Chain A
Amino acid sequence: MKNIRTVDQINEKISKGTINVVTAEEMTEIVKSNGIEVAAKDVDIVTTGTFGAMCSSGLFLNFGHADPPIKMDHVNLNGVEAYHGNAAVDVYLGVTKMHPERNFDYGGGHVIEDLVAGKEIELDATAYGTDCYPRKSVKTTFTLQDVNQAILCNPRNAYQRYNAATNGRDDVIYTYMGKLLPNYSNVSYSGAGELNPLTNDPDYETIGVGTRIFLGGGIGYVTGHGTQHDPTNKFGTIMVQGDLKQMDPKFLRGATYTNYGTSLYVGLGIPIPILNEDLAKKTSISDEEIKTNLLDYGIPRRGRPSLKETDYAELKSGKLKLKEREIPAQPLSSLKIAREVASTLKKWIDDGKFLLASPTQRLSVTEVCRPMKITKEAVFVQNIMIPTVTCNIDEDTETVARRIIEKNVNHVVVVDDGGILKGIVTSFDITKAVAKKEEKLSNVVTRQVVTASPEEPIDSCVRKLKKHDISALPVVDSEKKILGIVTSEQISRLLGE
C-alpha cells in the first residue's frame, strides 16, 4: 500500500496547527458518508480510547533513602502489601493486592487512585537489618510529590477484544466480569468496540515499541507486546508505562469486584496516523464488524463453551438476544470515559501539545498464547463420581430406609421414571421420618437440590458444599438426568483431609 503521508509530515502539521484529527467513532461516520479515498486524504490522525479494569497494572515506586538507611523487607502502603524483591527502596505495588481487613473494598488499585488524587499514603516497612542498611523499621507518610519515581506499568493492556459473560447456574456468581445473575439473566462485557485502540490497527502497523500514548490522563509509551499477546487469534495486547505524576484521578480509578478482588480502571488512548488508505479503512471499523463470543462464566473451566457469537453493536444496544429471550447487556468498562479519553487526546493534538512517535520496532504478529503447563492434572467430577442409589417419590420412607442400610449410603436421590432428578433425601432425613412414623417420602424430601456437572472441577464442588452446608452433590446432565453423585467424604479422602 502506497503511503500518502509520513509521521514526520504529520508532526509538522501538528506544530503548525493545521492538523486534521478525529476520533475513531467520527472516522467510522466520515468513511461511511465520504468513502475511504476522501477520508484518507482529509484525515491525518484517528484517536482511540478505552477505560477498563486492567488487572495486570502495577506501580513502581522509589522512596529515596532514609537516614540511617533501610533495606526494606516487608512493605505496606495504606495497609496494602507491596512487593519488595528488588533494590533497597524500590517497591512494586500490584493493583489486585487486597487490604487484609478491608478486602474487596480497598486494594492496590485504590492506593494508586489515592496517590494520584494527592492524598497522603502511610508507609510501614520492616527489615532484618544489614551492616550497610542497619535500620529495621520505618513508618512515615508520603504523597506522590515526595517520591523520586512513580511509574505506572501495565504488562497487559488494551485487549483487542474480550468475551462477553453470562451465567447459566441457578445461583448468583461474582466474577471479574461483575455480578452475574442466575439463569442467563444479565450480560456483562468489556471494551469500547470501534473506539478500542488495537481494534483500529489490528495488524500493529503504527502501534509498536515506542509509540507515544495517552495513559491515565498523562503521557505514556508502548514498551512492547503485552503478556498473553495472541495476535493470530486477534487477541493482541500491549505493555505500556507512564509517569504517574502526570496522571489524573479521573482516568485512574480503583475497582472493586465483590467476592473476586480489586483492580484498577485505566484510561488509555492511542493516536493512529493515517499513513495510507488501508489505515483509513481499518480505522473505519464499526461495532457491527467487531465480533466476540458470549461465554457461560457459570462453568468454572478454562474452555468455556460459547453460547453465541455476538458483536459490539448488539452489546452496546443494551439488549442481547439469547434463545428467544432479551437479556440486559452492559459493559463493566466505561464507554463514556473512553470517549473522553479519545476526545482529550484529540484536543492535545489539536492544541499542538502531543506529537506522534513512530515505533522503533513492530509488535509480534506470530506469537501464540498457550495454556498453563500442568504437571499434575486437576480432578473433575467425572473422574470421581460414583453411581447413586435412587428411589421414586411414591415409595414409603421405610422402604427407602431399608435401601439405605442395604446399600450402605447416606444419600438417596429421588428420580422420576425418566431418571430426571426430583429431589434428595439423606439418611438423617429418613431416620427422623421413621422415628416420627412419617410414611410419606414426599413430606421429607428436599426438592431444591444443588447439583454438579460431570465437567466441573472438584474445587468448585468444595465451594458449593461449603456454601450450602451440604454433604453431597448429585451429578446431572443439562437435562437434569441423574448420572451419579459426589459426596464430601469422597472429596475429603481425595484431598487427604
Chain B
Amino acid sequence: MKARLRFDKEKTSEPIIASVILRTKAPINILRAQVDEGTGEVLIEVPDDKAESTISAFKQMGVDVHVGRFIELLREKCIDCGHCITVCPVDAISAQSDLTVEIDQNKCVDCGACVDACPTRAIKLSE
C-alpha cells in the first residue's frame, strides 16, 4: 500500500517516520520526500498487513494521511499511443498485447513525469 503523508513545519523536525517504524515494526519504504517552507510531504510504501497500524500511528502524531490512487489514467481520453511509456523513470507504464496502455499503481512513484507528456491529457495526478 502507498500513502501520502502531510505534516506542518513544527513537526518536520521530529523523527516522525522513525518513531512510527519503532512503534509498528513496519518496514516503511520512502518513495519520495519533499520538505518545503510551510509543509512536508512524503510518499511511503508499507506492506498491506501493516497498513492499518501504520496509518493510525501516523494519525496519532497529527500527520495528515492520504491513501489511495495518486496517478490516474482516464480510459475514455487515452488513445493508447504509448508516448507516456517512454518518459516513465520506473517502467510503471506498459502496453498490453492488444496495445491498451496501463499504469501499474504498485510500481508508480507518483513523479508526474507522464502527465505533461500525454497528448490527450489522459493522465491525472489526483490529490
Contacts and interface: CB of A to CB of B under 8 A. Distances in A.
Contacts of A257: 119
B82 interface: yes
Contacts of B85: 318, 328, 330
B81 A331 contact: yes
Nearest to B84: A330
B53 interface: no
B80 A330 contact: no
Contacts of A472: none
A436 interface: no
A328 B98 CA distance: 19
- Number of contact residues on A: which range applies? 20 to 34
B73 interface: no
A178 B83 contact: yes
A334 B81 contact: yes
Given A187-B86, A188-B86, A336-B100, A330 B121 contact: no
A298 interface: no
A339 B98 CA distance: 10
Contact of B86 (A255, A328, A333, A334): A328
Given A258-B117, A332-B119, A337 B86 contact: no
Interface in A283-340: 318, 328-337, 339
A187 B85 CA distance: 10
A227 B117 CA distance: 28
A255 B121 CA distance: 8
B125 to A, nearest CB: 14
Interface residues of B, number: 18
B117 A334 contact: no
Contacts of B81: 330-334
Interface in B62-87: 79-83, 85-87
Contacts of A263: 119
A344 to B, nearest CB: 15
A179 interface: yes
B117 A105 contact: no
A51 interface: yes
B88 to A, nearest CB: 9
A178, A253, A335: which has the most chain B beta carbons within 10 Å? A178
18 contacts: A174-B116, A178-B83, A179-B83, A186-B86, A254-B120, A255-B120, A256-B118, A257-B119, A263-B119, A331-B81, A334-B79, A334-B81, A335-B99, A336-B79, A336-B80, A336-B99, A336-B100, A337-B80
Q: Which 6 A-B pairs have the closest CB atoms?
A: A330-B82, A186-B86, A179-B117, A336-B99, A328-B86, A258-B116
